[in-house]
């Protein structure tokens, strides 16, 4: 049977499910969507999913901020200097300091290890690892864009060879030796 | 004056914290952002219009969250951060049988992962409207967009969630 | 993990650290990119500052799972990166600052090895050598349709290895992250 001229295709209906749920469509559109859903089990199942998503979102908890955060704000408001808790924002230099603190504790004759410092240190190193990878990724991104792409010989020619040649010249070699792989 | 500020901080702390919590998917970072936002409120308390306080706080919270996200750009933006486990587990207790509880917990976990994945401008609108229940007008003020745009972003954001979740949920088992 | 091996690991790391604790600023391959003032710091999209002790720990942590990456990190004494989103900014002023940075490099003994100018994009790579050893690499790039990037890497550098590592990694995308802070009303 041919579709009535004003009937919706599934693709259109799926686009309108959320405003339909919210009652945000003009009356005529609401009717068209409703008629389509009555005739199309697949789209009706999508509507059920859309409704479930909305229900679940509305049921998500809104947690209170831990009281110690408010306390820190209160103390700051009274003029006390209240630092943020030591977390990822610890400057990189502090990693060495934290490790040194541990070494002192051990060297002092005690085998007491401040596990919390160690855990913070591990998190900070993990964060540093991610940042180092990102730095390398940006190097790759820029060199790719500049046409210094994955073909090693391009990078070799553009970076390694000129350096090797200049090294060779400075060592007094004039026979145009092959570029060294290691520098 | 501090008492009045403390009242204000107490009144808005949940809104700020839970917004940051869902934007960042990290409890610790949400705590830091909340502290920073409330401190900023204290510093600017003379200059903030009382009537617009709620939307001001949301705008500052969102900006602070995205400043933090830019700094932690190296981390994967997709996938569920461990900090959401307790919210996912909460649903379990209201379901009648173990299988339903497991399915409900799993659905919520996937929903939170999908929420972490959808980008702006939809994510903020979905959180503020569906999780926090704020009116469209207030969301528009907070985000600096017209109310009609809030509705469009809301619908598109939820549609995006549906598309992500549809890939996992078996046909027909959605209600 | 029991306490003893953990303690030993920490002690070994502490012993290793002092040898690497030379200030990066004193290294010949170091460029004070903050002082060059290329980009406004509060508008940076990415800012990375990693020094020797941290990079040594990164190398140790990744040795088992990613030996190629670990080997590159092992020789490094510092990594600095700044990424500045260019859209909507005055690229002429930016080009001037990049030119100034290039002059600074050349005035401080850096050798140009790459200069690419194509379709408005500019990329410069400079190397700092001591004898036959490359001790520093600096990359400056400007894509007027995207971003400007400065990278300074100090340490024992093999540019080919660096290039291969870089090509194997990708910058993750953040979708439509809103722009920076707005002043409170």
For B50-67, what is each residue's pLDDT tens digit?
788 899 999 999 999 988
Cβ-defined contact of B161 to A53 (cutoff 8 Å):
yes
Count CA atoms closer than 13 A to A116's CA, side-chain side. 3
Q: For residue A123, list chain B residues with Cβ-Cβ distance below 8 A.
A: none
Q: What does each of the 185 residues of chain C score in pLDDT, given as a tens digit? A: 444 444 444 444 444 444 445 677 788 899 999 888 898 887 888 889 898 889 999 999 888 888 888 989 998 999 999 999 998 788 888 999 999 999 999 999 999 988 888 878 899 999 999 888 889 999 999 998 889 999 999 998 887 788 778 777 777 654 344 433 333 33
Min distance C107 CA to chain B CA atoms (Å): 33
Q: For residue A90, list chain B residues with Cβ-Cβ distance below 8 A.
A: none
Cβ-defined contact of A129 to C61 (cutoff 8 Å):
yes
Please check the confidence at residue A98 and state whether its pLDDT lies above 50.
Answer: no
Cβ-defined contact of C159 to A166 (cutoff 8 Å):
no
Q: For residue C47, list chain B residues with Cβ-Cβ distance below 8 A.
A: 71
Q: DSSP alpha helices (H): ranges in A40-183?
A: 41-59, 67-77, 93-107, 115-145, 152-155, 161-170
Contact B66, C178 (CB under 8 A): yes
Return all residues near C21 (Cβ < 8 A) that are at least 6 apart: A96, C52, C53
Q: Which of A133, A145, A160 sits opposite C160 (nearest CB)?
A: A160
> Distance between CA atoms of A52 and A48, rounded to whole angstroms?
6
Rounded to two decimals, the pTM is 0.50
A101 interfaces chain C, CB cutoff of 8 Å: no
Q: For residue A92, list chain C residues with Cβ-Cβ distance below 8 A.
A: 49-51, 53-54
Does the predicted interface ipTM exceed a cut of 0.85? yes
pLDDT in tens, B99-135: 888 888 888 888 988 898 888 889 999 999 999 999 9
Residue A133: strand pairing partners: none
Residue C181, phi then psi, degrees to nearest 5: -60, 140
> Distance between CA atoms of C181 and C184, rounded to whole angstroms?
9
């Amino acid at each position: 049977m041919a579709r009535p001229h004003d009937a919706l295709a599934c693709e259109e209906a799926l686009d309108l499910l959320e405003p339909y749920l919210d009652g945000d469509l003009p009356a005529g559109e609401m009717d068209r969507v409703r008629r389509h859903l009555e005739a199309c089990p697949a789209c009706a199942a999508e509507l059920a999913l859309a409704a479930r998503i909305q229900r679940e979102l509305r049921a998500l908890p809104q947690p209170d901020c831990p009281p110690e955060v408010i306390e820190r704000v209160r103390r700051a408001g009274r003029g006390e200097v209240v630092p943020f808790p030591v977390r990822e924002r610890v400057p990189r230099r502090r990693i060495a300091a934290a490790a040194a603190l541990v070494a002192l504790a051990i060297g002092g004759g005690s085998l007491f290890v401040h596990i919390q410092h160690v855990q913070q240190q591990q998190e900070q190193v993990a964060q540093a690892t991610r940042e180092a990878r990102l730095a390398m990724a940006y190097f790759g991104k820029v060199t790719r864009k500049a046409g210094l792409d994955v073909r090693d010989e391009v990078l070799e020619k553009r970076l390694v060879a000129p350096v090797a040649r200049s090294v060779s010249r400075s060592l007094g070699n004039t026979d145009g030796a092959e570029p060294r792989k290691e520098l | 004056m501090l008492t009045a500020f403390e009242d204000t901080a107490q009144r808005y702390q949940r809104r700020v914290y839970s917004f940051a919590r869902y934007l960042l998917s990290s409890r610790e970072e949400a705590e830091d952002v909340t502290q920073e936002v409330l401190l900023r409120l204290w510093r600017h308390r003379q200059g903030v219009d009382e009537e617009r306080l709620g939307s001001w706080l949301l705008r500052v919270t969102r900006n602070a969250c995205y400043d933090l996200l830019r700094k932690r750009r190296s981390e994967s933006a997709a996938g569920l951060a461990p900090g959401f486990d307790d919210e996912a587990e909460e649903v379990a207790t209201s379901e009648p049988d173990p299988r339903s509880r497991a399915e409900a917990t799993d659905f919520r976990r996937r929903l939170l992962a999908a929420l972490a994945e959808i980008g702006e401008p939809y994510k903020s609108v979905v959180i503020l409207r569906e999780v926090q229940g704020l009116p469209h007008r207030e969301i528009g003020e907070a985000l600096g967009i017209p109310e009609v745009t809030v509705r469009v972003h809301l619908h598109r954001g939820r549609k995006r969630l549906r598309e992500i979740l549809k890939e996992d949920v078996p046909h027909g088992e959605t209600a | 993990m029991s306490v003893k091996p953990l303690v030993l690991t920490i002690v070994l790391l502490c012993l290793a650290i002092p040898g690497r604790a030379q200030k990066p600023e004193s290294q010949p391959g170091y460029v004070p990119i903050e002082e060059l003032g290329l980009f406004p710091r509060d508008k940076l999209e990415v800012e990375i500052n990693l020094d020797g002790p941290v990079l040594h720990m990164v190398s140790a942590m990744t040795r088992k799972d990613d030996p190629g990456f670990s080997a590159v990190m092992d020789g490094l004494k510092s990594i600095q990166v700044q990424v500045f989103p260019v859209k909507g900014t005055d690229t002429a002023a930016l080009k001037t600052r990049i030119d100034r940075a290039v002059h600074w490099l050349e005035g401080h003994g850096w050798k140009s090895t790459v200069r690419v100018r194509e379709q408005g994009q500019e990329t410069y790579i400079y190397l700092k050598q001591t004898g036959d050893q490359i001790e520093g690499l600096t990359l400056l790039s400007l894509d007027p349709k995207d971003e400007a990037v400065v990278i300074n890497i100090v340490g024992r550098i093999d540019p080919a290895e660096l290039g291969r590592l870089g090509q194997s990694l990708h910058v993750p995308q953040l979708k439509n992250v809103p722009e920076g802070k707005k002043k409170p009303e």
